[in-house]
Structure 1
Amino acid sequence: MAVADGGSRGPGEIDRAAEVFTNVRPRLFGIAYRMLGSATEAEDLVQEVWLRWQGCDRAAVDNPAAFLATVTTRLAINAAQSARVRRETYVGPWLPEPVDTSADPHLGAERGAALELAVLLLLERLSPTERAAYVLREAFDYPYRQIADIVGLSEVAVRQLVSRARRHVRAERRAPVTKAEQRRLLTAFVAAARAGDLATLEEIFAADVVSYSDGGGAERASRIPVVGASRVARYVRAFASRFWAGVDVTWASTNGQTSALLSRDGQVFAVLTVDASEQGVDRVFWMMNPAKITAVPAVT
């Protein structure tokens, strides 16, 4: 870390600092978002990184991009530890906050890894340091040596963390379908859910499908996950007539997949998406917490 610099700075030097920061900002946000599962918290964290960048001795920084990524990751590890405690009292299932990926499908990364809601949810079970190592390697392709420097561990330990995280994700999630097939299944689900078509719902579901509804206590939503094809189908049909009344559906790219934006009178009130494998729809995600749908595209 660079030490604080108490010297005066001219406007030109601050402009150069801002240019450097702006160039790497998408990557910093991508790291923070994957670590926290919240666009709002990621934005706040990146703002804190900017303040630290302004206040440090930048002349002592040989590699600004590496320095900023290190600061971001270390702050995110601390923030993730605090977030885990807060989420223990969250009302109902906690889901990652959807984020718009229409302009940046990989969200500042080399690859789109660790971005889909299903993967972010799995990463919640990892320790913050394990999650950081996985994110930096899988999404941003950082060398193990650099990850070791960032998280303060040996290279051997980092390789073990990444390997363990990979095994966890593979064990808990089936191989996903193509993006085109995911969109087809989501479209079929929306049509069947809207019509209360029990037979079609059961047909497109995997036998062990799980439906998660995140209302955060602010909206009426199931406070426990609903499990099993028959149960989820009956659950969706039970509220079809009242839930879908007056609802407009538009399609968006969130977290690298297709989502349905559900709105009434031009106001989005839910973001709906599915995670799917060759066995069908494995997970249905209903994001209905008003505070967590601010980072999705506006309905026009």
Structure 2
Amino acid sequence: MSTETGGDQSLGAIMSERRQLINVAYRLLGSLVDAEDVVQETYARWYAMSPEEQEAIQSPGAWLTTVASRICLDLLGSARARRENYVGEWIPEPLPGRTEWVSGRTGGATTDPADRITLDESINMAFLVVLESMTPAERVTFVLHDVFRYPFKEVAEIVGRTPAACRQLATSARRRVRDAEAPVTTPAQKAEVVRDFKLAWEAKDINALIGLLDPDATSIADGGGLVPAFLEPIRGGEEVARLMLEVARRVPVLGLVERTVNGQPGLVAQQNGVTVSVFAFDVVDDRIKHLWIIRNPEKLRPWTV
């Protein structure tokens, strides 16, 4: 579970695990802010031990990952209760990409922890939403074993189950993932659809928008503070298209920027240089199946220069 073994507790060896911890915690929690808090708490617990206690730990990296994962497991249990009282639907915190996906120019709104997240299919928004449907034990087991390849024996120690029980949890989690799987769409196809959506929205072309949306498309928007959320998902391609046009009419000065969102082509809406919305897309068969609109100001801080 660790890149450091043999009792090397030097500062460099301990801090080198930070990237791994951020990657694990973000996938477990769906939040960069919470992932950073977990990593800070993990290191606080390490440095609260005496040098003798630290020296007795053969694999610091394994210890740090175990502690971080257990903190995440506890947070997932409390987060479920908090999110049941969340106004509207809860959406994972969007992860900024380093570049605009069309021009290749480096984006200015990146953060240090975001730069350390490894980009793969396990961080795209559709996948994170599936993870949200899992029980805390399922999610921790699936992420640690199937994503990070930790043995069931080690996962069992973290979640407090037997290895056999963890295998069952992983099987249940995989079933959820399979049920949500869609035909593969290439990055180029996704980029083309998202770009066409941007152009149609800017042109207020209702027919073009409807044509780009799956007839059964769903849109979810969160909020926070003074920003209202959709109380219920908007269902149906035509309904989503009309909603987007209503948004364009109400806020005509929005600037749309093509940016990578959780490793996938997405859009960012800005007002006076401040990011006010991030759009993540799930494209299936050249049509938008799901549209997530993140508007919670707390989740958008990493997106504003």
Q: Give the TM-score range, shorter chain.
A: 0.7 to 0.9
Percent identical pairs in the alignment equals 33
Identify the residue that residue 290 of structure 2 maps to in structure 1.
283
Q: Deviations over 1:167-211 (max 9, x none)?
A: 102212423422222222211112212222111112111221100
Whether the 8 Å CA contact 1:93–1:212 is kept in 2: the answer is yes
Q: How many Å separate the matches in 1 of 2:265 and 2:121?
A: 16
Q: Please, which of 65, 70, 79 is the counterpart of residue 69 of structure 1?
A: 65
Using the TM superposition, name which of 19-28 and 216-225 deviates more. 216-225
Identify the residue that residue 251 of structure 1 maps to in structure 2.
258
Alignment of 1:128-147 (within 5 A): 128-147=136-155
Q: Please, which of 166, 183, 190 is the counterpart of residue 191 of structure 2?
A: 183
Q: Does 1:274 align with 2:278?
A: no
Q: Please, which of 77, 82, 87 is the counterpart of residue 86 of structure 1?
A: 82
Letter in 2 for 1:116: N
**RMSD of aligned C-alpha atoms?**
2.3
1:166–1:279 CA distance, 2 compared to 1 (3 A): farther
Q: Please, which of 37, 43, 55 is the counterpart of residue 48 of structure 2?
A: 55
User: Which structure 1 segments of 5+ residues have no match?
Assistant: 1-14
Identify the residue that residue 18 of structure 2 maps to in structure 1.
25
Secondary structure of the structure 2 residue equivalent to 1:156: helix
Q: Deviations over 1:69-128 (max 9, x none)?
A: 11110000001101111111111111111122438999555x724311122122112111
Q: How many Å separate the matches in 1 of 2:71 and 2:277?
A: 30
Alignment of 1:80-119 (within 5 A): 80-102=76-98, 108=117, 112-119=120-127
Letter in 1 for 2:174: R
User: Which structure 2 segments of 5+ residues have no match?
Assistant: 1-7, 99-109
Q: How many Å separate the matches in 1 of 2:259 and 2:161?
A: 39
1:158–1:64 CA distance, 2 compared to 1 (3 A): same
Identify the residue that residue 214 of structure 1 maps to in structure 2.
222
Whether the 8 Å CA contact 1:114–1:138 is kept in 2: the answer is no
Identify the residue that residue 195 of structure 1 maps to in structure 2.
203
Secondary structure of the structure 2 residue equivalent to 1:294: helix
1:95–1:191 CA distance, 2 compared to 1 (3 A): same
Identify the residue that residue 5 of structure 2 maps to in structure 1.
none
Q: Deviations over 1:204-260 (max 9, x none)?
A: 1122110011113531442211011121112222332223x2222223323221221
Q: Does 1:232 align with 2:240?
A: yes
Q: How many Å separate the matches in 2 of 1:291 and 1:160?
A: 36
1:98–1:248 CA distance, 2 compared to 1 (3 A): same
Identify the residue that residue 167 of structure 1 maps to in structure 2.
175
Q: Does 1:292 align with 2:288?
A: no
Identify the residue that residue 103 of structure 2 maps to in structure 1.
none
Whether the 8 Å CA contact 2:193–2:286 is kept in 1: the answer is no
Q: How many Å separate the matches in 1 of 2:96 and 2:85?
A: 27
Q: CA deviation at 1:279?
A: 5.4
TM-score by length of 1: 0.86
Secondary structure of the structure 2 residue equivalent to 1:250: strand
Q: Deviations over 1:121-152 (max 9, x none)?
A: 22112111110011112321222332223323
Q: Does 1:151 align with 2:147?
A: no
Q: How many Å separate the matches in 1 of 2:228 and 2:158?
A: 42
1:251–1:19 CA distance, 2 compared to 1 (3 A): farther
1:152–1:39 CA distance, 2 compared to 1 (3 A): same
Q: CA deviation at 1:281?
A: 0.8
Q: How many Å separate the matches in 1 of 2:97 and 2:143?
A: 17
Q: How many Å separate the matches in 1 of 2:115 and 2:120?
A: 4
Q: CA deviation at 1:295?
A: 2.6
Q: Deviations over 1:5-56 (max 9, x none)?
A: xxxxxxxxxx954322321111111111111111111111110001011123
Letter in 1 for 2:74: N
TM-score by length of 2: 0.85
Aligned residues: 282
Secondary structure of the structure 2 residue equivalent to 1:268: strand
